[in-house]
Chain A
């Protein structure tokens, strides 16, 4: 079966590689067939007679992805009216490429170019008049900051690159295109600073992109799953962000950014735990303020990961650890609850996840109503109906609320899922199992590598760096780039 699939694919390719013939009629026939002219409504063809050499010619393009007035003004009008020696001299389009086979023609038309075929000429001219529809640049919606740039990436490669170049005025900032996908040729753009980036890592990323053997990689979000090492791991190894300022700060340190035309975000590789833990605002805020938010975030990390599990472990196995006042209060409130404590905790945690998932999908006009109902049911009514005890509401709310402090969606999921494992471990053997499970989790995390970079570097293993891990130093004292990337220039500030 597999072999027959492969063969059928191969049998298609010869027609794609077909060279352009000198006969315009043949070429038109071929193109019409390739693009299903007539059925395909937005595939347009226009025949003209060129003024300067009095030959017949034909223009092909997708009318939906090109700029119509631009074609009229800069392609058709000059060809019809102006005299000159070659197409290059007549047409006033910034970018003209000569192609000689139909595969290139397909690729060009798909990426919003117009193809000019001339009778008696076996090269075609591809002219860039692309105008894909996209949103304007808007403010960030998921990674909010109070202090700092508000612009977010949008679904347009040019805008995105422009947003990055706006922050890094550097002629070594390279934007390299790599084609992926077999049926739909999409371009992934590798952005890096040439005189900083480590060639081995860059080569590693390139080869992973080239190894993607699939028909279509639609966007960055899909790409992320194609290039990561461990798809079954709970721990992410690629950073996803919608903030150009975050991306450029990583570029400056020698990281590599991946962009695509169809996503309003970028990927940053390689990553460490700290990339997920940090927020760009930590650096925009002054030294103490930034470190204060880091401390809060670290505490939230602990709370969301372990508070429910600790509560289960302590109250089910180590009641002597609870101060008597609290102990008696919990006991009193639990006397009429029919479920074991761990079931209570699971009910609340799952209910919270439920509100969260449903809240995300609720159509905007219904949002507030459903939110109130959900909060009422879970908070007040469940307690009054003796289904759960009030303290569980506090615990679940704490762990739920703190999970939002970890803004990165990947690490957020990691923590939310690990939480359930910890709760079950705590329910099985108390603190012993909780400690064991946490230790195993920690050891596993330390073993993770992202594009060859250990997950907890530069803390462990230790590397020369700006020592921006849990806390950061004052900006003036940050001298080095992270040396775990082995950048070409490790010093970013003279001492």
Chain B
């Protein structure tokens, strides 16, 4: 009996074991997936950027002509089945486990069917929920093909560094697929995707912009990689409706407690000499407090308090703010005033134009409802948010002036 059992066990291992075993070198690792519309409804062009493992490996000397990536485009109905079609010219099994980003063209994202195609990404376990969603101005195929990083040749490193740094500075949001589905399914709020482009047509350059008042493609640039990540694509109910510039993206992230953002540098016109601009480092040590008073019959009140710190980096006007309390007061007020002004503009735009918020504020009203049904009936999109009375107040906790105690006195230098 024991022997029989052992034999059966042996067969189980021999027959059932090793079934889904696959060697590492038998797979191709996709780093980026592009999604484009085609002329045919329901059929999309999928672009796969596959990493070449031999590039950048110290153990194996690769041929000098081998590119760091192989980029292939095939038509298909969904992300996964297209990989099998691609196997007619890609030699190994295409694996999506290590995908970093999914790039959709603006055209595809603005189409009504976008949700249909991106939905398959959530079904397969191969695509992680942490994959970031990037919207490109041009077609995704062009984006991937034109994207030529100069230093980080290996694509996964490039995307990793590029997205994490741009995200720290706040000019692009953190836009994971998970968040996309969470917000879309939640049927409230707006989802912000990363906006990027490799298209640098000169006439679109925004020569009058300041450090963050751009969207991708507008930043005047000399040298470097042609790809620009800046601003965010606004999604409402799974469909792209607008683009926010870098500054608006920063404000949206400031007001959103679910998103992390590092410190960033910004400028304001010098309140005493408006032709010069004062640079400061904005840093937020605590999350903003968001208070919602829900009223069934009259407009809901949303009260937001943001505490931040500012460190002055540069005062080109050479006005002695450091030594003068009154001038500091003026400066503080002008920083706050400017932030509130920009914030109110964004809120106004969202209330009137989008009729929903990109701040994920619906989280704070949910506690006012007994069940999902009554919450849905109250309707965040249509009734609550567009009519809400929103009051955002900024408080400056600390104003610092770096390590210089005093500024250069221009009249003394030039005597």
Residues of A within 8 A of B24 (CB): 315, 319, 327, 330-331, 334, 341
Cα of A147 to Cα of B156 in the assembled complex, Å: 50
Known contacts A320-B98, A328-B53, A428-B18; decide if A335 and B25 are in contact (CB<8 Å): yes
Q: Which of B109-128 contact A (CB under 8 A)?
A: 126, 128
The chain A residue with its CB closest to the CB of B125 is: A320
The chain B residue with its CB closest to the CB of A337 is: B25
Known contacts A325-B157, A331-B25; decide if A317 and B57 are in contact (CB<8 Å): no
Q: Which of A310-347 contact B (CB under 8 A)?
A: 315-317, 319-320, 324-325, 327-337, 340-341
Cα of A333 to Cα of B54 in the assembled complex, Å: 8
Known contacts A316-B23, A324-B51, A328-B51; decide if A427 and B60 are in contact (CB<8 Å): no
Q: Which of B1-51 contact A (CB under 8 A)?
A: 13, 16-18, 20-25, 27, 29, 31, 51
The chain A residue with its CB closest to the CB of B21 is: A316
Determine the interface band of chain A, counting residues with CB < 8 A from chain B. 20 to 34
Known contacts A320-B97, A324-B29; decide if A329 and B53 are in contact (CB<8 Å): yes
Contact A333 B57 (CB under 8 A): yes
CB distance from A150 to the nearest CB of B (A): 45
The chain B residue with its CB closest to the CB of A315 is: B24
- Interface residue? A379 (CB, 8 A): no
- Interface residue? B59 (CB, 8 A): yes
Residues of A within 8 A of B21 (CB): 316-317, 427, 430
- Interface residue? B200 (CB, 8 A): no
Residues of A within 8 A of B23 (CB): 315-316, 334, 340-341
The chain B residue with its CB closest to the CB of A321 is: B97
CB distance from B154 to the nearest CB of A (A): 7
- Interface residue? B95 (CB, 8 A): yes
Contact B53 A429 (CB under 8 A): no
Contact B18 A328 (CB under 8 A): no
Q: Which of A11-43 contact B (CB under 8 A)?
A: none
Residues of A within 8 A of B20 (CB): 317, 430
The chain A residue with its CB closest to the CB of B20 is: A317
The chain B residue with its CB closest to the CB of A391 is: B59
Contact B154 A328 (CB under 8 A): yes
Q: Interface digits, B43-71 against A, CB 8 Å rule (1 contact, 0 not)?
A: 00000000101101101101000000000
Known contacts A319-B97, A324-B29; decide if A428 and B59 are in contact (CB<8 Å): no
- Interface residue? A374 (CB, 8 A): no
Cα of A459 to Cα of B22 in the assembled complex, Å: 41
- Interface residue? A390 (CB, 8 A): yes
Cα of A329 to Cα of B17 in the assembled complex, Å: 27
Contact A427 B18 (CB under 8 A): yes
Cα of A337 to Cα of B60 in the assembled complex, Å: 12
CB distance from A431 to the nearest CB of B (A): 12
Residues of B within 8 A of A341 (CB): 23-24
The chain A residue with its CB closest to the CB of B19 is: A429
Known contacts A324-B29, A332-B57, A332-B59; decide if A428 and B22 are in contact (CB<8 Å): no
Residues of B within 8 A of A332 (CB): 53-54, 57, 59-60, 62
The chain A residue with its CB closest to the CB of B92 is: A331
Contact A325 B156 (CB under 8 A): yes
CB distance from B171 to the nearest CB of A (A): 25
Contact B60 A319 (CB under 8 A): no
Q: Which of B191-245 contact A (CB under 8 A)?
A: none
Interface-centre pick from A341, A389, A428 (highest chain B CB count, 10 A): A428
Residues of B within 8 A of A336 (CB): 60
Residues of A within 8 A of B57 (CB): 328-329, 332-333
Q: Which of A178-195 contact B (CB under 8 A)?
A: none
Contact A335 B17 (CB under 8 A): no
Known contacts A317-B21, A332-B53; decide if A327 and B59 are in contact (CB<8 Å): no
Cα of A165 to Cα of B40 in the assembled complex, Å: 94
CB distance from A53 to the nearest CB of B (A): 72
Contact A331 B97 (CB under 8 A): no
Cα of A335 to Cα of B53 in the assembled complex, Å: 9
Of A319, A327, A428, which one neighbours B13 at CB under 8 angstroms?
Answer: A428
Residues of A within 8 A of B126 (CB): 320
Residues of B within 8 A of A433 (CB): 17
Residues of A within 8 A of B97 (CB): 319-320
Cα of A335 to Cα of B62 in the assembled complex, Å: 11
Cα of A324 to Cα of B20 in the assembled complex, Å: 20
CB distance from B32 to the nearest CB of A (A): 12
The chain B residue with its CB closest to the CB of A341 is: B23
Cα of A335 to Cα of B63 in the assembled complex, Å: 14
CB distance from A357 to the nearest CB of B (A): 28
Residues of A within 8 A of B27 (CB): 319, 331
Q: Interface digits, B130-160 against A, CB 8 Å rule (1 contact, 0 not)?
A: 0000000000000000000000001011000
Cα of A319 to Cα of B28 in the assembled complex, Å: 11
Known contacts A316-B21, A325-B157, A341-B24; decide if A335 and B13 are in contact (CB<8 Å): no
The chain A residue with its CB closest to the CB of B31 is: A324
Of A334, A427, A429, A430, which one neighbours B25 at CB under 8 angstroms?
Answer: A334
Cα of A429 to Cα of B17 in the assembled complex, Å: 5
Residues of B within 8 A of A324 (CB): 29, 31, 51, 98, 156
Contact A327 B157 (CB under 8 A): no
Cα of A336 to Cα of B29 in the assembled complex, Å: 18
Residues of B within 8 A of A315 (CB): 23-24
Residues of B within 8 A of A331 (CB): 24-25, 27, 29, 53
CB distance from A315 to the nearest CB of B (A): 5
Q: Interface digits, B339-375 against A, CB 8 Å rule (1 contact, 0 not)?
A: 0000000000000000000000000000000000000
CB distance from B99 to the nearest CB of A (A): 10
Cα of A330 to Cα of B60 in the assembled complex, Å: 10
Cα of A324 to Cα of B16 in the assembled complex, Å: 29
Cα of A335 to Cα of B27 in the assembled complex, Å: 11
The chain B residue with its CB closest to the CB of A312 is: B21
Cα of A333 to Cα of B126 in the assembled complex, Å: 24
Q: Which of A376-394 contact B (CB under 8 A)?
A: 389-390
Cα of A341 to Cα of B59 in the assembled complex, Å: 17
Cα of A428 to Cα of B98 in the assembled complex, Å: 24
Cα of A330 to Cα of B98 in the assembled complex, Å: 14
Residues of A within 8 A of B60 (CB): 332-333, 335-336
The chain A residue with its CB closest to the CB of B155 is: A324
Interface-centre pick from A319, A336, A340 (highest chain B CB count, 10 A): A319
Residues of A within 8 A of B54 (CB): 332, 335
Cα of A78 to Cα of B329 in the assembled complex, Å: 118
Residues of B within 8 A of A340 (CB): 23
Cα of A328 to Cα of B128 in the assembled complex, Å: 18
A317-B20, A333-B59 provided; 4 other pairs, C-beta below 8 A? Answer: A317-B22, A328-B56, A328-B156, A333-B60
Contact sample, A vs B, 7 pairs, CB 8 Å cutoff: A316-B23, A320-B128, A328-B156, A331-B25, A332-B62, A334-B23, A429-B16
List the 5 closest A-B pairs by CB distance, nearest first: A428-B17, A320-B97, A332-B57, A331-B53, A332-B53
